Amino acid sequence: MSVHSLPKTALVAGGAGFVGSHLCDALLARGMRVICVDNFHTGRRRNVAPLQNDRRFRIIEADVATDILPDLAVDWVFNLASPASPPHYQSDPVRTMMTNVVGTGNLLAFAARGKARYLQASTSEVYGDPELHPQREDYWGHVNPIGIRACYDEGKRAAESLCYDHMRTGKLDVRVARIFNTYGPRMRADDGRIVSNFIVQALEGREMTVYGDGRQTRSFCYVSDLVRGLIALMAVEETPEGPVNLGNPDEFEVLDLARQVREAIPTRAEIVFRPLPSDDPKRRRPDITRARDLLEWTPEVPLREGLAQTAAWFSVPAHRAIETEELARPAE
């Protein structure tokens, strides 16, 4: 799509987070105005600090679950507002569920009032510990509804349900991206997810923590590929009938990832084994046929290259600095 055919203003809820801040960058680079809505729960001001000098960029500090947004003229609403790393979303599970259910409900209503197009950042976690491999969008999933991951998995499933209920009213154009494990610069050093953990541990010569036997698999997508996919899904004229998987179908065992990180970063860090968290999915890999067919989207950055970019970014000590005050703030 050419820059000239893009609409003018996008609202990005969760725009100060890891993926959201890259999305804000990409939308501005395509000539759009961007309103970032964030409560800085897991996101950081420094992710968007370089954008503050751009007059087309604006931040609204708000919680999507508890604050009412003012009516604003926007063409696109991206909802990325939700903690995404298991330790973060499990640190306050009730808040995670409310953000995903009530927050999504509020943003859908906001988009409907303003006649904006809406995109929901959903997740491969809606498939739970999948019995179908690779995962296609028509698979209904295998989720423990009362486990420690449920606040996120079920919150995202309820959010999808709200999206399609709104869609069926005929008054809202909704797109749902089921995002698979994504990594890259601007993850937090204390994020707790595998790629940032392994890279920071390797850089600092600390033990690299493999959970379980390390034979479980994930498929890792570099953030620039994901952001391109999110914009393509929002921009495509014909609304896809259902959710669209966005992820890199190259699948790796966790132990394999540890070895690849050690190849990218010369380190004396040793691999150690720690207990596997409960309900940890055993295998995960997206079937991206739908994204290929509808969006002509396919990931381009191989793991080796993405790891090198991410390691280079984390090798700057300031990028590993930890800000804990937002995460420590109690729920309202």
* 155 part of the interface to ligand NAD, by CB under 6 A: no
> Given 89, 152, 183, 222, which residue is catalytic?
152
**Given the complex with ligand NAD, which of 25 and 38 has the nearer CB atom?**
38
Q: DSSP H helical segments within the chain, as ranges?
A: 18-29, 45-48, 86-91, 93-98, 104-114, 150-168, 194-204, 223-235, 254-264, 289-295, 303-314, 325-328
The residues, any chain, with a CB within 8 Å of residue 13's CB and separated by 6 or more, are 20, 37, 38, 64, 77, 78, 79, 80, 81, 103, 107
CA terminus-to-terminus distance, the chain: 42
**Given the complex with ligand UDP, which of 253 and 326 has the nearer CB atom?**
253
* 128 part of the interface to ligand NAD, by CB under 6 A: no
φ and ψ at residue 176, rounded to 5 degrees: -120, 120
| The one segment of 11-19, 232-240, 264-272, 280-288 that binds ligand NAD by CB under 6 A | 11-19
CA atoms within 13 A on the CB side of 178: 27
Smallest distance, ligand NAD to C-beta of residue 11, A: 12
17 binds, among ligand NAD, ligand UDP, none (CB under 5 to 8 A by kind): ligand NAD
| The one segment of 16-24, 131-139, 142-150, 308-316 that binds ligand NAD by CB under 6 A | 16-24
Say how many residues make up the chain.
332
* 181 part of the interface to ligand NAD, by CB under 6 A: yes
| 152 assigned to active site | yes
Smallest distance, ligand NAD to C-beta of residue 51, A: 14
216 binds, among ligand NAD, ligand UDP, none (CB under 5 to 8 A by kind): ligand UDP
Q: Catalogue the active-site residues.
A: 152
